[in-house]
Structures are given as structure tokens and as C-alpha cells.
């Protein structure tokens, strides 16, 4: 991949991105952008085929992850893949050690894996589904921070940890209590980890995008247009109307923010929950 990025200091850094096996997902976009900056990237995802009760866009399969990796390699990027369930401590630790063993370093860890498809009112939300959302979105990020930081501390030259939050990290949303709670919790986790790891030169930040029409985002659009009774066209029109810049977010908007937070230009930024929302979210 011919590197024409903004941040030459990122060349030959090594990044792990969780949840990066879904076509049109945020993980794919961040992987492509970091690879374009010369970063050597490890894509990880759970690798299972989606179950019959899940949206097809909910799970990154091994085959899809390998297709994304092949495309990045064909463009000249340096990429590896690793199957990882972020709920399993030993698998997350192994992913961090894999990056170190395969590429010789671990400089960037992006906690992107998440559940954004279990959306029900509080009184109807089954406990097991609540636990699933909090498990992947918050426990998974904790494990990523824990094991990435262990490697980074051992290396002794700092690092970048980036968590993918949401507008739901800042505001509440009906029919999404578990998701909202998990993303609010992610901001608290970010702030605490930033306090603990700053003296070692490890920054910890969260990116908080508004709605992005990824593959899963398209499912969310259809779901909430039905739940609200607005119909798809009215739902999307109302979404655009409340965003000052007049459009929903794009995968590339998040990828740009990720590259910036990995760069030296962001070396004095830590503990932040950075809105990338076209002005829709401003606190």
C-alpha cells in the first residue's frame, strides 16, 4: 500500500483492531486507514458465522476477515489476522502476544468489537441479552486495555489505546439501555485507565461517533424506523435534520479520528471522549 498518509511517524507501528472482520464496518475502515499510514495491522474478530437470530452484519466471520486482509495486502499493506473472542481473557492476551511475536511490537490497540443489535425496552430486555451487551462492549474493552497495556509496559516505549464509544456514551437512547450503559461505562474505564497508564506514555481515549451506517448500522436504521413507527424515509430525514453538518457519520470519519489519536499530534491527549458527530453531540 503506497503510504500517503498525514502521519509519517506511524510507519512500521503495529496495531491490533478488534471487531475488524465485518465488511463495511468501522474496524475495516480503521484498518485500511492505518495501513495507508504504514501501520502494520492485526485484524481480529470472533470468526463465527452469524446465528439464525442475529443480523447477518452482526458477526465478522473468518472468511470475511481474510477477504478484507487480502484486499489490504493487495494494496500494499502489511496485515495479519487472528481469531479472538473478546470475552475470553486468554484469547485477548494471546492476540496481544501474537502481534508482538508476529510483528515485533505492539504500539496501538483499538477496542472496536461491540454488540449493537440487542435493542429492547428495559422492561422487555432479557437478563442474558443485557449481560451479552455489557460483556462484549465493556468487559471486552477492559480485557483489551489490560493485556495491551501489559505488553506496552513491558516494551517501555508507550503506546496508544483507543476505545470505540458512541453518541450513546454521552446521551441516553430509548430501546437501547444496555448499549447506552455499556458505552457510558466505557468512558469511565477510559478515564481511569488514562490516569493509571499516563506515566508510562500510554494514552487512552474514546471516539464517540453518532450513527454511522455501517452494515450493522443499516440494520439499526431499519429496526428503529420500525420501532418508532416513522418509516424508513422519515426516520432518516429526521436524523439528518438534527445533525448540524447535515449527514450521518461515515466510517471514514471515525478512521480519520483514529489515525489522529495514534499520531504524535495527539501525544498530549488522554482520557478524552472525543465526539465525531457532525455537531449532533457536543458535550
Residues with a known catalytic role: 179
Is residue 198 exposed (0-12), middle (13-18) or buried (19+ Cβ within 10 Å)? middle
The candidate with the shortest Cα–Cα distance to 82, out of 97, 72, 71, 74, is 97
Distance CA 209, CA 275 (A): 6
Distance CA 247, CA 243 (A): 6
Distance CA 165, CA 248 (A): 16
Amino acid at each position: 500500500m503506497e503510504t500517503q498518509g498525514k502521519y509519517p511517524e506511524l510507519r512500521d507501528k503495529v496495531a491490533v483492531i478488534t471487531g475488524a472482520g465485518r465488511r463495511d464496518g468501522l474496524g475495516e475502515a480503521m484498518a485500511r486507514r492505518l495501513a495507508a499510514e504504514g501501520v502494520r495491522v492485526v485484524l481480529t474478530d470472533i470468526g463465527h458465522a452469524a446465528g439464525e437470530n442475529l443480523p447477518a452484519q452482526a458477526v465478522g466471520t473468518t472468511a470475511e476477515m481474510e477477504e478484507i486482509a487480502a484486499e489490504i495486502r493487495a494494496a500494499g499493506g502489511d496485515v495479519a489476522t487472528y481469531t479472538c473472542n473478546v470475552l475470553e481473557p486468554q484469547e485477548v492476551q494471546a492476540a496481544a502476544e501474537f502481534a508482538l511475536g508476529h510483528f515485533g511490537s505492539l504500539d496501538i490497540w483499538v477496542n472496536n468489537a461491540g454488540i449493537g443489535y440487542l435493542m429492547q425496552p428495559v422492561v422487555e430486555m432479557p437478563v442474558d441479552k443485557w449481560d451479552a451487551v455489557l460483556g462484549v462492549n465493556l468487559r471486552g474493552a477492559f480485557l483489551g486495555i489490560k493485556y495491551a497495556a501489559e505488553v506496552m509496559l513491558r516494551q517501555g516505549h508507550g503506546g496508544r489505546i483507543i476505545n470505540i464509544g458512541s453518541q450513546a456514551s454521552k446521551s441516553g437512547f430509548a430501546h437501547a439501555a444496555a448499549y447506552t450503559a455499556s458505552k457510558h461505562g466505557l468512558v469511565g474505564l477510559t478515564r481511569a485507565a488514562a490516569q493509571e497508564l499516563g506515566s508510562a506514555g500510554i494514552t487512552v481515549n474514546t471516539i464517540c461517533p453518532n450513527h454511522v451506517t455501517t452494515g450493522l448500522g443499516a440494520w439499526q436504521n431499519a429496526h428503529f424506523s420500525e420501532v418508532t413507527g416513522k418509516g424508513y424515509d422519515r426516520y432518516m430525514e429526521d436524523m439528518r435534520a438534527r445533525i448540524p453538518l447535515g449527514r450521518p457519520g461515515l466510517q471514514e470519519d471515525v478512521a480519520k479520528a483514529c489515525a489522529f489519536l495514534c499520531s504524535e499530534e495527539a501525544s498530549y491527549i488522554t482520557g478524552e471522549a472525543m465526539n465525531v458527530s457532525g455537531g449532533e453531540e457536543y458535550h
